[in-house]
Amino acid sequence: MSICAAIQMASSPNINSNLLEAERLITEAVAAGAKLVALPENFALMGLDEFDKIKQKEQDGSGPIQDFLARTAKKHAVWIVAGTMPIADPANENKVMAACLIYNDLGERVARYDKIHLFDVQVPETNEVYRESDGISKGHEPLVIDTPFGKIGIAVCYDLRFPELFRLMQEQGMEVLIIPSAFTEKTGAAHWELLLRARAVENLCYVIAPNQGGFHVNGRQTYGHSMIVDPWGTVLDCFKTNAGFASADLDLARLHKTRASFPVLQHRQIACK
């Protein structure tokens, strides 16, 4: 078994202060025994508008945010799933990719996932309007990677609402789903726990869900309630408000036993195309 942590923040437009807060929380999680930590979406930058991230973008493989992640992973000998950060889109200088970078405990980057589904919505019964596609180019490829913690699939926030993505991951052997997010207060209260537990149950996998939580300088309020869910849909830990983290053991032996005794994944009659 390995302890994992889902870190919760209320990030601001100030990258330096966000990185200081991220390091503080990572240090606390490691002290509590975490070997794998996951940061929320937009952990390094929650801008005043959709275009701030373009001004602060980094080239792939170089920049202060990426240097911080590599240095921190190595310093604490911990795997880091680094929420999302703005990486330059080589095909469009006016947009960025919402990239989730994964670093191993030696400080080496081992994978990158670009957010596929972009949040272009008006939240029902509110005046909140979001147009992520104004500043972000969508990704195209699901990601499942081998790690010491099992086969990990990565998705980001709005991706959570598209179950076909997770079926594709399941066909690649996903055992643990990590989904860094910045769910709004309104949509989080309605759907956050419901969707996380559904994804865990229908894929018989662990779900690690770090979320933004609190009030932000740009006027947003995010839901928090970062949590870890087991393959039976049980919430193992939930950190509701303010900055902190949820933590729990990942027990792959229990996961495999559950899949063997309840072989729903083998009973599927309709395969993904």
Active site residues: 41, 115, 157
Q: How far apart are CA 2 and CA 239, in angstroms?
A: 19
Q: How far apart are CA 164 and CA 215, in angstroms?
A: 32
Q: Position 199: which residue type? A: R
Task: Report the chain's terminal Cα–Cα distance, integer Å.
Answer: 34
Q: How far apart are CA 239 and CA 211, in angstroms?
A: 9
Cα–chain-centroid distance for residue 219?
22
Place of tokens 């932000």: 216
User: Which residues, in sequence order, are CB contacts of 15 under 8 Å at separation 6+?
Assistant: 44, 45, 56, 64, 65
Residues forming beta bridges with residue 247, ordered by sequence position = 5
Q: Position 156: which residue type? A: V
The secondary element (H helix, E strand) that includes residue 103 is: strand 96-103
Cα–chain-centroid distance for residue 19?
16
Q: At what angle do helices 64-76 and 15-31 cross, to 10 degrees?
A: 10
